[in-house]
Amino acid sequence: MLMINDGDMEALEKVAERFGLDEIKSCKKLSGGITNDTFKIITNRGAFVAQRLNKFFPKSTTLRQYLASNYLRNHQFFDIPQLIKNSNLSLTTKIKNHNWKVSRYIEHDKVEKNISLVIEAASKLGKFHEIMSKYNSPINKPPTINFHNTKRII
């Protein structure tokens, strides 16, 4: 398990306060992210994911995520992580020169790899593309140049 340092814990406590999550009972740093630092927080209100966003991302990225996830949720596409607004009704909050966002944590099972799951995943991916092909966001502009150029942004 990845350790949380004192600076991260202090920031997470501020995140919990600003997003009205209640007092943190436990938290852990989640691995696997390349650009953002991601933490699972447990409070009396439930489980949440807090992300310290890389400075590379403009705030509009989080707004686009919010709009797209609401669109998918309205089309009954899976259980989509729901972004939470903070006490100022904003999707992000700035702590120590970093923007943070919070979403509801979705429980999941460890999945065994087998052909039926691959087929199901492919079907869900097709459904995702079908739904999103009709999506027309009010801020649907191209992402930042080199957005997926990992070698350039790291």
pLDDT score of 68 more than 80: yes
For the chain, percent of residues with pLDDT exceeding 90: 39
Residue-range domain boundaries for the chain: 6-153
Residue predicted with more confidence, 144 or 139? 139
Tell me the CATH number for domain 6-153.
3.30.200.20
Q: Are 108 and 49 in contact (CB under 8 A)?
A: no
- Kindly report, residue by residue over 8-60, the tens digit of the pLDDT: 999 999 999 999 999 999 999 997 777 889 999 999 999 999 999 988 878 78
Angular region, 89: left φ>0, alpha ψ -120 to 50, beta rest: left
Q: What is the pLDDT of residue 3?
A: 73
Helix (H, G, I), strand (E, B) or coil at 93: strand
